Structure 1
Amino acid sequence: MNGASREALAVAREQLDALTDNTAVDARQLADELAAVTTLLDREVRLRRVLTDPAQPGEAKAELARRLLGRQVSGEVADLVSGMVRSRWSRSRDLVDAVEQLADSADLIAADRAGTLDDVEDELFRFGRIVASSTQLRAALSGKVDDPAARGAKTELLHRLLGGRAKPATERLVTRLVAAPRGRSLEGGLEALSRLAAERRDRSVAVVTSAVPLSDGQKQRLGAALARLYGREVHLNLDVDPAVLGGISVRIGDDVIDGTVAARLGEVERRMAG
């Protein structure tokens, strides 16, 4: 998102945080209801265009949202979405993406309350690596989900893979991604969920690849060095790949710090070829 949409999302996330500061609010229920709103807005193109039309008064759009959602979701979610449509959005689809992100955030808030947010981060990362390494699994979980039978089969497969082995929030987040990918790749969606989980702790995620597992001391020193470099806590997602030969590669968002032997050898080969 850019410009107005990014600002509108930031305001909506603050509103969600304020709402869930009240522990009496059921964050999982909020997630389910926000996911239902996402499905509605994703399906009803004309509706979302009306709700994001800058030529229409904000209060009129908010009232329309309240009328449509009032009997389908809780008052908290109706108020939250009504506030969102008062904001200005660069594209109508950005509103749908924002509501979906709030749904994911609500599930992560529930995990944070349960003291399992760190586990959810790690499980999302590990599952992403499993998917990336298995074309068969990726094919089974990707593709069109318009057919209810196909969507049900994917959901059942996920339950067999994750049920009882992962935290409830992890299973809910991944199931929602698979059931409604909305044009995203499975790997890309999992990476986005991992970043969102990290943001709940106001920290970045570093994907660290090494030839052999890092020791506890190495992990602590690397985490401290990255925290100094980026000015915030950095969560390490660790991956072992013998192909790097030695050293480590660190990726944080678009930044890549590649200190692997394989990378250095590749650079030597390129220079020799040149």
Structure 2
Amino acid sequence: MGSATTQARAAVASALGAATGVDLDVTRELFAAARTVDSSSHLSGALADSSAPASARADVVTAVFGPSFAPTTVALLRTVVEQRWSSVSELIDGLEELAIRAAAVADTHSDIEGELFQFSRTVAANGDLELALGSRVGEPAAKGALVTSLLQGRVSEATVLVASSLVQQPRERRVRSLLRWAEKLVAEQRGRVVATVHAVAPLSEVQATRLQNALGARYGATVTLNTVIDPTVVGGLRVQIADDVIDASVSARLADLRQRIAG
């Protein structure tokens, strides 16, 4: 990620924080805008053209989306294109990131992170489903409709919207990776970090609270736990937060012991 994109992401996140009227309709429009920009090389090229004045790029947004989108949506989109992005691809990433963060703002009560995590586990466990969603063959809208049919009534509307929108625009990215990326962004928007916990059995409420408190003290943030039941750990826990892995499992200790015995 280029430095221009890093600065642009920060500016867009700040604009979202200051915006009013961000609801799921706005979120839906932001995802739709990302798909529209991605589908048109002419439009995406014009919006990512750093040689053009920022005001001119913003006026293109108003001309294209202003007649049909809410004022809040248009204002946020204008902010996105007024920034300098390192590439067209990163501009589109920025639009998707804004939409995902908007979902977290629009629905503050639902466990969007946990629901996205569980759906990513479902996809990982079902090869046919992963193939159907990740294949280049098939209409994007049909993939979105499939996800909606699987999740509707089982998870929050925000989660349905995020998951069904992302599978329509994979852009060479694996579905599981997209879902985990969205999970991370929602947690970040809410000031939390996500810990994936591998355990041989579900954690009790007391165990989960103790682990959350310990990890929260270590990382200086509220921690959300996503638990994976994994018999290979034998006992103990293996915890992953971003690229950090804390392996206190029995299997890890046994492996370490075997290495020491071997020499």
For residues 51-130 of structure 1, the aligned pairs below 5 Å read 51-112=47-108, 115-116=109-110, 119-130=111-122
2:171 is matched with: 182
Q: CA separation in 1, counterparts of 2:22 and 2:221?
A: 30
1:256 is matched with: 245
Match of 1:133 among 112, 125, 130: 125
Shift of 1:36: 1.7
- TM-score w.r.t. the length of structure 2 is 0.91
1:247 partner letter: G
Q: Deviations over 1:12-37 (max 9, x none)?
A: 121122113xxxx2511211211121
SS at match of 1:179: coil
2:69 partner letter: V
Q: CA separation in 2, counterparts of 1:137 and 1:232?
A: 35
1:17 is matched with: 17
2:41 partner letter: V
Shift of 1:271: 4.8
Give structure 1 stretches of 5+ with no counterpart.
Answer: none
1:238 partner letter: T
1:180 partner letter: Q
2:79 partner letter: G
CA contact (8 A) 2:104 2:190 kept: no
Q: CA separation in 1, counterparts of 2:159 and 2:136?
A: 22
Shift of 1:186: 1.1
1:224 is matched with: 213
Shift of 1:151: 4.1
Q: Deviations over 1:226-256 (max 9, x none)?
A: 1111111111111111111011000000111
Shift of 1:156: 4.1
For residues 154-165 of structure 1, the aligned pairs below 5 Å read 154-165=143-154
Q: CA separation in 2, counterparts of 1:92 and 1:157?
A: 29
Q: CA separation in 2, counterparts of 1:30 and 1:43?
A: 20
2:229 is matched with: 240
Shift of 1:130: 1.8
SS at match of 1:90: coil
1:27 is matched with: 23
Match of 2:203 among 193, 214, 221: 214
SS at match of 2:246: strand
Q: CA separation in 2, counterparts of 1:156 and 1:40?
A: 18
1:123 partner letter: E
For residues 148-159 of structure 1, the aligned pairs below 5 Å read 148=139, 151-152=141-142, 154-159=143-148
Q: Which moved more, 1:183-192 or 1:1-10?
A: 1-10
The structure-2 alpha-carbon separation of the partners of 1:161 and 1:82, relative to structure 1 and needing over 3 Å to count, comes to: closer
2:102 partner letter: A
Q: CA separation in 2, counterparts of 1:73 and 1:151?
A: 20
- TM-score w.r.t. the length of structure 1 is 0.88
Q: CA separation in 2, counterparts of 1:39 and 1:182?
A: 10
1:171 is matched with: 160
The structure-2 alpha-carbon separation of the partners of 1:133 and 1:41, relative to structure 1 and needing over 3 Å to count, comes to: same
Q: CA separation in 1, counterparts of 2:77 and 2:145?
A: 31
1:262 partner letter: S
The structure-2 alpha-carbon separation of the partners of 1:52 and 1:179, relative to structure 1 and needing over 3 Å to count, comes to: closer
CA contact (8 A) 2:13 2:98 kept: yes
CA RMSD of aligned residues (A): 2.0
- Number of matched pairs: 263
Q: CA separation in 2, counterparts of 1:142 and 1:60?
A: 36
Q: Which moved more, 1:217-226 or 1:52-61?
A: 52-61
Q: Which moved more, 1:69-78 or 1:183-192?
A: 69-78
The structure-2 alpha-carbon separation of the partners of 1:164 and 1:205, relative to structure 1 and needing over 3 Å to count, comes to: same
Identity of aligned residues (%): 37
